Structure 1
Amino acid sequence: MSLHKNLSKAPLKSLVAPLDVPSVPLEGFSTLASFSWINSPEVPTLAIPGDPPKWIEPQLPLRLPQDQGTRYIDHTGDQCEKANVSRLMPLFQSVEHCAPSFDFKELNLICNRNNLRNLLRWIEGRPKKDFRIDLHLVNDNNTLVMLQYEIEFTEYVSLGQFRGYGDNFRKKTVRFPSAQVKHNRVVTYRFGQFRVLMTHKVEAHVENRDYDDNLESLMSSLSVQDATENTTKSKIVGPDSLPVRRTADKVKEYEFIEIKTMAQRKPVDWAEFYPQIYLSQTKLLYAALHSRGEFVTIDKYKTDDLKLVEYKKSMEKSLGQLVEFLRRLVTSLKAVGNGPWALVCVEGNMTLHDSTDATLPDVILSKF
């Protein structure tokens, strides 16, 4: 398999990052919905709204082995493939439950955070890896839908393959509510001319006693058996939907944490990390520092700290370039046919291709 599966061999066009454009801030940010996955291997099932995992302060020093075994590259993609549904279904079903009056027709861009981070790295001339983003135009060509593409959803890390200590560190410091795994938030905001609906993974939230008391009461009745046998049907019904377990009436706001693990000798790579926390407006970043797997300190940053202003300015400059790139991209798509299409970035070169993949399912298109 490759990034070019089901794509035209010859690109429709090559794309370049725009230069010398005004900076653009992120505005009007709000949380719309959330979902987690029920911890059941038999039937991929959503918990809506999802409950975020809690940060558990570790005792230091803490020695951990290197990450090993099977790890997820894209958990949502994996679960949706198992259920034979579009990877957009968790987003649409969670919004339908948490914000039933939300008007999808007002959107200009639907994506996940990883899509935007990959595009921003490319715009800044520092792509982390080759990537592909599948594209659809819907809503009378007014809404661009971006879908994450992965060659594989999981990878196996064998003895001798170094992938760091991050997974094992999170196992020690993050506790999920009973029966739930992999919490995701759905947010909406604007940058430039684009009103955006975006999903992103949540790693942890800061402990709050009131929240924890409510959560323990709420989750006491949610067992794995309840989650798999006592699900409720979504308003989006049919073979393209996922079973849903309702966990609360409303989605709540929390102080979320982004967790990074790194060698003690390395400085925090704000050029890499800041776009991630900015796009999701994550309030805290915890940098866990280790020496060959022995964690000795955790540096905790408030991401609205004035010391990070220079990174915010750089981010908004790149965001202005992203807005112009997306504007040009939509114009190009309208001129080259009905789609779907794909963006493919290989060794820093971005090309646009026709795709023979299926169009979005009717259950999603009907929302526009």
Structure 2
Amino acid sequence: MDEIEQRHLQSIAVPEVDVELGEVRVKDCNYIGSYNWLKQDSPTILVPGSPPQWQNRAVPYTIPPDTGVYFSDQNGYRMPKYVLLPLIMAVNKCAEIAKKTPFDWSSADIVTDRNGLRKLMRWVGGEDVRDFRLDLQLAGEHTVLVNRWEKRNREVFNGRTFGFSFEKASTVPAPGCKESTGHHRIVTYDLNGLKMVVRFEVDACIPPPAKYPRKSISSIDELTSTMNAIHLSQSTRPSQYLTVLEGGTEVSQTAVVELVTRSQMNMQMNGFNWKEAYPQLFFSQTAHHFLAVHQRGRFQEIKKTKLSSDELQSVADDAQVDLKRVRQVLALIKDIVVMHGKKGRLSLICQGGELKVYSRRNEESCLPESALKLFEL
């Protein structure tokens, strides 16, 4: 935090629930973009890309543990200066491909990763509160850009978990996405009067009953040979920061799957923590949750739950108090960022359960000027 001013601008307390707010619900949730990161020397995304396809393997099956280096925040690793730029370029490119009206960026209140919303949810809930930092900047007249910030964007795994190996063993790359290193999806929705744009990583999707149409690019050789042939319009540039290639196939919101693994011993001792897991589904409106239970890597049960299921109704009801608090905090954050104007460079920092707003010495923008202009009315 060397670039943060030592004096904080203000503290934010966990708010008392506003009884007039009513039930916090997601309304008018729409997919607006997606992309896959590709194994390239320079930052390159495939738009719309596709998530890995769930294979529905019969249990039991045994897989090796996670070992090696995995991304905790691939966007931050590949685009540390402009973390939100792939989101914006993918949305613009998807509209161009579909020949739809471009997304109106000036209409958005908050542009964020789902991860930031989950951090705020833990903080207002007061349980398992972890230290975190979110960088904030104003775009246009009223849009708050929330940039994820992590100490490390990659983590080393030493054989104690099975989540990444389970994903690999239980899915196959979608056609045209073999060189993918991760799929991200962007949705927009109304959260009780706040227009949200939310990006999140997708583990898998339920494949369509019919084969994909042959629109996608099947190999890295084809990607390389077609890079010059693919038209990159001004709406998807600046290309000096990020290359955008067209490939993959758009996936329905109803087919998106979150994969989770737990050991049998953990489940017997602790059960499954839906208070922690539910906001992940809620803030991205992920339709399916697959919980895979194993004993030392031998997976014997996969419990499938839908976000819309009756089973989660009590979980959803219990989450309302904290969701109301998050909604109130988001409105407060927006007011603070708007008040500090376009030159403001703010950071929201939680340490020891205390949430404070700081100004940053670094005056660099979180987006290039060409992208910021999209938010002007």
Q: Which whole-Å CA distance do the structure 1 matches of 2:356 and 2:128 have between them?
A: 14
Q: Does residue 347 of the first structure (1) align with residue 346 of the second (2)?
A: no
Cα distance, 1:124 vs structure 2 = 0.8
- Percent of pairs with identical residues: 26
- 3-state SS in 1 of match to 2:11: strand
Q: Which whole-Å CA distance do the structure 2 matches of 1:110 and 1:179 have between them?
A: 28
Task: Indicate how the Cα distance of structure 1 residues 322 and 253 shifts in structure 2: closer, same or farther if over 3 A, else same.
Answer: closer
After TM superposition, the structure 1 = structure 2 runs for residues 154-169 of structure 1, keeping only pairs within 5 Å, are 154-158=154-158, 162=160, 164-169=161-166
After TM superposition, the structure 1 = structure 2 runs for residues 179-218 of structure 1, keeping only pairs within 5 Å, are 179-210=179-210, 213-215=211-213, 217-218=214-215
Give CA deviations for 1:110-136 in whole Å, capped at 9, x if unaligned. 001001011111111124521110000
Q: Does residue 135 of the first structure (1) align with residue 136 of the second (2)?
A: yes
Match of 1:362 among 335, 344, 369: 369
Code of the residue aligned with 1:153 in structure 2: it is: N
Task: Indicate how the Cα distance of structure 1 residues 321 and 12 shifts in structure 2: closer, same or farther if over 3 A, else same.
Answer: same
Is there any run of 5+ residues in structure 1 with no aligned partner, and where?
A: none
Give CA deviations for 1:172-225 in whole Å, capped at 9, x if unaligned. 012122333311111000112310111111111113221xx125x233x43202
Cα distance, 1:9 vs structure 2 = 1.6
Q: Which whole-Å CA distance do the structure 1 matches of 2:9 and 2:25 have between them?
A: 31
Q: Which whole-Å CA distance do the structure 2 matches of 1:250 and 1:158 have between them?
A: 35
Cα distance, 1:364 vs structure 2 = 1.5
Cα distance, 1:72 vs structure 2 = 0.9
Q: TM-score, normalised by structure 1?
A: 0.89
Q: TM-score, normalised by structure 2?
A: 0.87
Cα distance, 1:106 vs structure 2 = 0.7
Aligned-residue RMSD, C-alpha: 2.0
Cα distance, 1:234 vs structure 2 = 4.2
- Residues 31 and 186 of structure 1 are in contact (CA less than 8 Å); yes or no, is this contact kept in structure 2? yes
Match for residue 220 of structure 2?
224
Which piece of structure 1 moves more, 171-180 or 146-155?
Answer: 171-180
Cα distance, 1:148 vs structure 2 = 0.3
Q: How many residues align?
A: 353
- 3-state SS in 2 of match to 1:333: helix
- Residues 50 and 250 of structure 2 are in contact (CA less than 8 Å); yes or no, is this contact kept in structure 1? no
Q: Which whole-Å CA distance do the structure 2 matches of 1:334 and 1:51 have between them?
A: 36
Q: Which whole-Å CA distance do the structure 1 matches of 2:240 and 2:3 have between them?
A: 22
Match for residue 296 of structure 1?
300
Give CA deviations for 1:20-57 in whole Å, capped at 9, x if unaligned. 2233211111111111112x232321111111210122
- 3-state SS in 1 of match to 2:16: coil
- 3-state SS in 1 of match to 2:151: coil
Code of the residue aligned with 1:11 in structure 2: it is: H
Q: Does residue 89 of the first structure (1) align with residue 94 of the second (2)?
A: no
Which piece of structure 1 moves more, 236-245 or 97-106?
Answer: 236-245
Match for residue 314 of structure 2?
310
- 3-state SS in 1 of match to 2:2: coil
Task: Indicate how the Cα distance of structure 1 residues 28 and 35 shifts in structure 2: closer, same or farther if over 3 A, else same.
Answer: same
- Residues 261 and 292 of structure 2 are in contact (CA less than 8 Å); yes or no, is this contact kept in structure 1? yes
Is there any run of 5+ residues in structure 2 with no aligned partner, and where?
A: 96-100
Q: Which whole-Å CA distance do the structure 1 matches of 2:56 and 2:325 have between them?
A: 39
Match for residue 104 of structure 1?
105
After TM superposition, the structure 1 = structure 2 runs for residues 1-368 of structure 1, keeping only pairs within 5 Å, are 4-21=1-18, 22=21, 23-38=23-38, 40-81=39-80, 86-99=82-95, 100-140=101-141, 142-158=142-158, 162=160, 164-177=161-174, 178-210=178-210, 213-215=211-213, 217-219=214-216, 221-231=217-227, 232=230, 233-235=232-234, 236-238=236-238, 240-247=240-247, 252-265=252-265, 266=267, 267-336=271-340, 338-357=343-362, 358-359=364-365, 360-368=367-375
